Chains A and B, each alone.
Chain A
């Protein structure tokens, strides 16, 4: 197990370096003056320009630039935004909000996705199954920001069940609706994945053998069908975190949530490339680490992995 974790960790390193290098390369290797790129094409004072040059070590060769950028990233020295605030501070304020949002979304999609998927899989071909399947396709097809507006309008404005926008400090209660919106598309994927997996496992030989042992139906479903069906779901959750990050930007924009997504959204609107690069790099780091966590969970669920 320890060997497995160590190996996964080692495999993560090149991925992390590669991804950050990619981001860095995309920003600094596109045609034009990097300073112009960093400033978003706007004219700026020589002071700011000098600060940018220092932050990004533009007088150094590319590899040293990248190395220093990495060093800054890992020490969370993320530079200063156009408004003069350290990006790290802004990120520190925004991060807990987004983390809460993401946790809500993850809990929602996993709990309900697995539950509905299990029922649909056990009753394959029946009414519940077919209606849930069509519904999941619709959910996947409607973009997150449209879902956001629909929820905001229906539940926030018309029905008044929830506050259409999130209040200051982003309390948990206000985040429930945005969390559901954010998790909705992934919920549909989790549901479909669980359904397929349950249907497959239902026909597995070991499930028939378990029944033949005299186990009760509920035990067979819990211990043998559901348990085994969770393995592909966990794998999916790892990849899904990336989708959630993209979705968070949109959701936070729609619901006015002061999270990492909004920070990024504002930075995009203002053309603040340094902030965008810094935030995206941190997100990549988070994503890679979260995937490591998912791998750990995966190994816990599937003993075959630990020794592979």
Chain B
């Protein structure tokens, strides 16, 4: 590929020329409140065949950098200064036509969300085919070529699969299709923007392994965008850390991980759950609690859903299948599983929001299936939930004060004045300023909303809090902050947590006991230390092994 002309100053012959060289790049977006600089003075180089990872939180500018390299910035965004040299040619001011020539066969892309990146109305084969055609790789046997690139991406039975629509594919298969599109025209640089964040860890690992193999074989350079430092260090030779639109540190992956210099990088490494191997300090360990003091005892719990199949028949779907476990008072028990494992259904049943098909849930020895309306109302005070989506868990119409006051009002606790004091106290407990009271959820960040949700859950002084993926949607640093808060609260208030999550790394930080679920069934359970040190089942072992970066710091 020596067709591009070199306009940059000639590099010494002995030294290799970078494939992508972004120099002092500044990217500005025209917002409704004036221009916002999303990226400032950022430098980045990718050598031919090299894998480089940009790591940062949401809003750090990492995706913006990558999109700028492909000329895919949103309409209101522009590269306002600096150079984007691709193979020596400056693309920063390139026209749409020039970019069109580069995209596909020079720079390919694997996007983040496999669900939304394939056009739902066209067959997979069609979408691969148009990529080949647009880059002049049509040729005679184009269908054969389509099957070939799909097979390369690890899609079995490619010829038949090519005739299917995206909605007939699972998430992992869609991502494979997108990888095959990204690599179909043998680009020299592949930009992979969080290519597996939306997938389960085991699938993530398979796909990244495959991507690694393919790019190594083809000699493709990869620019990898991720929020996960562990993943970056594991998959890239070089890591670039971005923070608030600036590059704060870059260097060889392992060196950066073991010897971080910038305080932000240090903070990131300290917070990354996948890199830590201990439970957060302050929590209890299973041994200090009396062996038989169980708050929740679940026995033979089963939930069968009737779903309408094609036509008029109904099929049964067993979401939870004969599950038994117990939660000790004052400890944290995590229920871990991948999507579809039934873990959230368990949470709903323990919260008494969903009726079990069979089996019993005992709370303090009392069978919850037999509770009367009144008893149920009292039970509600003792168990409270926190949900995953910080944007969905607070009513946008309610001020923070009304949100936290609501449980007190529903249960008729105190008068207006004492309730106001209690709200203040609760806000303090979750380290939010009292002035937040008059604000509305849309003014708060995700982590702050989650803290408000915790305050609401604490209002009734419950004994058990059920966290349904409560920190999964948060950025690493905010996640660490919330986990620490939960841990502190447990210590001070003697709370019991039932922690539902897909993220084993988080489990290690917060849980005393673990219940592993797959397809509605219990795979194994035990203390966190046991499970992490010596998993009994292959499934758990695979799950553990798939935590990115897990083996790097040891």
Contacts and interface: CB of A to CB of B under 8 A. Distances in A.
A and B touching (C-beta < 8 Å)? yes
A55 interface: no
A99 interface: no
Nearest to B116: A205
Interface string A205-217: 1101111111111
Contacts of B105: 214
B100 interface: yes
A301 interface: yes
Contacts of B119: 206, 210, 224, 228
A208 B181 CA distance: 13
B168 to A, nearest CB: 8
B72 interface: yes
A215 B134 contact: yes
A69 B106 CA distance: 71
B433 interface: no
Contacts of B130: 210, 213, 215, 219, 223
A209 B111 contact: yes
Given A205-B117, A209-B117, A212-B109, A303 B165 contact: yes
Contacts of B9: none
A302 interface: yes
A154 to B, nearest CB: 40
Interface string B305-319: 000001100000000
A248 B168 CA distance: 43
B178 A219 contact: no
A212 B165 contact: no
A212 B116 CA distance: 14
Contact of A216 (B102, B134, B181): B134
B351 interface: no
Nearest to A302: B121
A74 B321 CA distance: 54
Contacts of A7: 311
B120 A217 contact: no
Interface in B70-97: 70, 72, 74, 96
Nearest to A207: B119
Contacts of A71: none
A224 to B, nearest CB: 6
B103 interface: yes
A212 B70 contact: yes
A212 B100 contact: no
Contacts of A214: 100-105, 131, 134-135, 185
Interface in A200-257: 203-206, 208-217, 219, 223-224, 227-228, 231
Contact of B111 (A205, A223, A302, A307): A205
Contacts of A209: 109, 111, 117-118, 178, 181
B167 interface: yes
Contacts of B56: none
B167 A304 contact: yes
A301 B122 CA distance: 10
A221 to B, nearest CB: 12
A213 B185 CA distance: 9
Contacts of B167: 303-304, 307
Most buried by A among B103, B119, B130, B310: B119
Contacts of A141: none
A302 B113 CA distance: 21
Contacts of A211: 72, 103
B108 interface: yes
Interface in A169-226: 203-206, 208-217, 219, 223-224
B109 A303 contact: no
B113 A205 contact: yes
Most chain B beta carbons < 10 A, residue from A209, A215, A223, A303: A209
Contacts of A231: 121
B116 A213 contact: no
B181 A303 contact: no
Contacts of B113: 205
A262 B242 CA distance: 71
B111 A219 contact: no
A216 B100 contact: yes
Contacts of A302: 120-121
Nearest to B113: A205
A216 B118 CA distance: 17
B145 to A, nearest CB: 15
B260 to A, nearest CB: 33
Contacts of A212: 70, 72, 103-104, 108-109, 111
A224 B166 CA distance: 14
B135 A304 contact: no
A7 B112 CA distance: 37
Contacts of B102: 214
Max count, chain B CB within 10 A of own CB: residue among A206, A213, A215:
A213
Given A213-B103, A303-B167, A219 B116 contact: no
Nearest to A125: B75
Given A214-B135, A303-B165, A206 B104 contact: no
Interface string B192-211: 00000000000000000000
A224 B127 CA distance: 10
Nearest to A212: B109
Contacts of A3: 310-311
A206 B134 contact: no
A204 B116 contact: yes
Contact of A217 (B96, B118, B310): B96
A212 B70 CA distance: 7
B195 to A, nearest CB: 12
Interface string A1-23: 00100010000000000000000
A121 to B, nearest CB: 13
B546 to A, nearest CB: 26
A208 B111 contact: yes
B232 to A, nearest CB: 22
26 contacts: A3-B310, A203-B74, A205-B117, A206-B116, A206-B117, A206-B118, A209-B109, A209-B111, A209-B117, A209-B181, A210-B130, A211-B103, A212-B103, A214-B100, A214-B103, A214-B134, A214-B135, A215-B134, A217-B100, A219-B134, A227-B121, A228-B120, A228-B121, A301-B121, A303-B120, A307-B168
Interface of A: 3, 7, 203-206, 208-217, 219, 223-224, 227-228, 231, 301-304, 307
Interface of B: 70, 72, 74, 96, 100-105, 108-109, 111-113, 116-122, 130-131, 134-135, 165, 167-168, 178, 181, 185, 310-311
Closest 3 pairs (CB-CB, A-B): A214-B104, A214-B103, A212-B109
Given A212-B103, A213-B131, A213-B134, 14 more contacts: A205-B112, A205-B116, A206-B117, A208-B72, A208-B117, A212-B72, A212-B109, A214-B102, A214-B105, A215-B104, A215-B131, A301-B121, A302-B121, A307-B167
